[in-house]
Each structure stands twice: as C-alpha cells, then as structure tokens.
Amino acid sequence: MSFSVTKLAPALVGPCEPTPSANLPLSPIDRAPGMRHLIDLFLVFGSGQHPAKVVREALSRALVPYYPVAGRFVVSDNGELNVACTGDGVWFVEASANFSLQDVNNLERPFMIPKEELLPCPPPQVKQEDVLLTLQVTEFACGGYVVGIRFNHAIFDGIGVAQFLKAIAELAKGLAQPTVEPIWCREAIPDPPKLLPQGPPPVFKPLALEQSILDVSLDRIDQIKNQFTSETGQRCSKFDVVSALVWQCRTRATNLEPQVDVHLAFTVNTRRLLQEVLPKGEGYYGNCVYPMAITAPCEKIKIASIVEIVSLIREAKESVPTKFSKWVKGDPKEGPCLVPLEYGSLCVNDWSQVGFYEVDFGWGGPIQVAPLTEDDLVPWCILLKSAAPMQGVRLLLRCVLKEHLEAFRDQMMTLV
C-alpha cells in the first residue's frame, strides 16, 4: 500500500470577533537568547467526527481571549521583541490520509511516514522564525486524527501551549468560554540580569546521537520512591527517580574519565514563585521556567546509590526558590544554571505532566503525544506516558553515541 497525505493550502484562521490592537511586550524570559525557535509535536487521537472543521472553528473562537497569538512579532523602539496584536490569525492546514492509524502502528516510533506530512507549514513567503503558532489536523481513513502543532517558544512554554490547546478543546466541546482565563501580563516579570552574554551565539558542533525508546514500569519507580522515603524520611517524585536512573546509566555507559565532570540539567516551573507579581490563579501562558543543573565527577555518579543521586536532584530543586528570588532581584552571583553543550551533559524534560494528555476535543484524549525534537547539541531525555494499557513512563532518548547505545540499554535493563 502506498501511504499518502493530501494537504489543502494553508489558510489563516483569525479571531471570530474583533480583538484589541496593541503592541505587547514579552517577558525577559521569553526574550532570552535562543527562545525564538519553533517546537514541533503532534497529538494522536483514536477517533473523531469532522475534527478539522471542529478544531478550526474552535481555534477561531479561542483566538478571541488569546488574541496575541493571532498577532505578529515586531521590534520595539528600544530594540526589544514585542508582539503586535494585529488579528492576522494563525496558519491552519487541513489534511487527509489514505490509510489508517493502525497501518502506521498508531505513529509509534520509528515513524512509518515522514513526520513533515503531519506538521503544518505556512506559505513559502512566511519566515519560519516569525510564526507564533501553526496547526494541522490530519484525518485518517479509520476515523482517527492527528493534530500537528508548531509553536514558538518565545510565546509559550510547554504548560502555556497545553493551556491554549485545552482552551481550543473546551470550545470544541461546546463551552461558551475556556475554564481558565488567559493572562498575558509579561511585563510583570522582573527584568533580571541577562540569561546569557550578549553578542553572536557561539557555534557548536552537533553530536551524532542515537535515538531510542525505553519504558520504566510504575512498579520499579514506586519501589525506588519507597526506598528513598525509607532511607531519608522524605518524599521524591517520579521525575526525580527516572532522571536519576537515566543519568547514572548513561554516565556508566559513556565511560568518561573518572575525574571528568558530568552534568544533569532540567527546568523548574516558577509560576508559584511569581505569585507576588502575576495575577492570582492559573492562566499565565508565557515562559515561566528556570534552568537548574547539577554537576558532579563522573566517578561519583557511577558508584553512587540511586537514593544518593535522587537526593542530589531533590537538593537542587529545593534550592530553586532562593536562587530564583535572588536572580530576579538582580543578584549578579545568581542566575540560571546552564550546562555546557557537550557529551558529558544530559538535559531531562518531563512532558507527561505538562497538560498535553488532557487535551480532549470531544472524542477522548490523545492515545499518544509525540515531541519531534532532533536537537543534537546536547544529549537529552523526554519523559512521556507509557502507551496504554501499560502504566509508567516512556522515555524518548537521544543521549548516547552509537558506540555507547548497547551499553546504555544494558545498564537501563539492569536498573529498571
């Protein structure tokens, strides 16, 4: 069978009602170097009825309260990136596939069709870096559908874009307005010292990392959580356990020199730390993350117990409120912990708790969430939910070179 996806021409979907016109500032976190890039993902749904029409109409309604998303980037008089609320709209693509989701294994990796088939692309004259958000709904022969999303990190963080998608989904199901009122309020976030030195970005050589998928059972995670509580009297999270496992396994597998420093990086949601400056309640959809990192000698991570590594992660997370508060107040000694972009670093992101799995356009939540990053500047790991009926965590990994992949898998199998 020949798999083909037929796309209609991209069309602009604007707010269904008049919206305010103004230039709105971005926050200093939004404007940080490297944030203005597109993140790709798609949500896979098992069934739906005319989903493209339903999502398109709901998108138009959602762009009324979320009117800045229908705008365009502009540069202010003082040279800062802003959003002009023009109401121009979001590029939207309708597509259809001549095959079923089952024919392509429900889009489990490795993908049986090019991912580009399921992602929206604006017209050629539109610069990619100028896109705030684009959507594509692809309907499959089986009645299932995929929502492909490209969003600009300068406008949303993961929680923010999930909030926007949930708003579209609520309107698609007939709600008069989203249950969470969106909050822009970017100017309320203090302007701390710059996240990175100004000037041209350094040039880094990409690593030839191998992609793999592993599942960690909920039983194994709970076993380590219970062990941690028994030994320390404290609690830890699923994220703490899985990050510790992956960090130790790849450190052992890569076999770096014992004295070489290895690094674990992750981001911490700081919405609760900005309660004094942001309006009360949910709704803020801009970037609200603080990069955190742990550095330790390779040998220490190799021989440590899992409980000891979880403790390092807990200590780092617990230090964030103090560090973040000092940073936003201008303390030059504090700032986001940025790891070197090298093979000894590992970045871990948790997509299982962001909100993508709660997006329901009326026919049930997604059977799969698929981040589509192929960034090879630093080794990384993304936590997803295991495919039903399994419970636990699915790890999407791009964290070792080919010569270390087998050793890494062996290490993971012994620990999970």
Rounded CA-CA distance 250/405 in Å is 9
Cα–Cα distance between 271 and 273 in angstroms, integer?
Answer: 5
pLDDT at 22: 93
Which residue numbers in the chain have pLDDT < 50? none
Write down the H helix ranges in 17-143: 51-62
| List of E strands, 14-123 | 23-25, 38-45, 72-75, 81-84, 90-97
The domains of the chain, with CATH numbers, are: 5-188 (3.30.559.10), 209-352+373-415 (3.30.559.10)
Can you tell me the distance from the alpha carbon of 365 to that of 352, in angstroms, rounded to the nearest whole number? Answer: 13
Helical residues (DSSP H) of 304-401, grouped into ranges = 306-318, 320-328
Handedness of CA 166, 171, 173, 174 (dihedral sign): positive
Catalytic residue among 88, 103, 261, 360: 360
pLDDT at 373: 80
| Residues 163-202 pLDDT 10s | 999 999 999 999 999 999 999 999 998 887 655 555 555 5
pLDDT given for residue 340 in this prediction: 86
* Strand, helix or coil for residue 94: strand
pTM of the model: 0.93
Write the CA distances from 387 to 141, 170, 361, 382, integer angstroms. 22, 24, 20, 15
Query: Catalytic residue at 350?
Result: no
Nearest CA-CA partner of 64 in 82, 81, 89, 83:
89
Give dist(CA 294, CA 269) in Å, integer: 17
As given in the structure block, the two tokens for residue 160 are 């923010």
Give the C-alpha separation, 54 to 50, whole Å. Answer: 6
Question: What is the structure's pLDDT at 194?
Answer: 58
Residue showing tokens 């269904």 = 16
Whether 375 sits among the annotated catalytic residues: the reply is no
| 3-state secondary structure (DSSP) of residue 229 | helix
Q: How many beta carbons lie within 10 A of that of residue 239, not counting itself?
A: 19
Q: Which of 153, 157, 350, 404 is catalytic?
A: 153
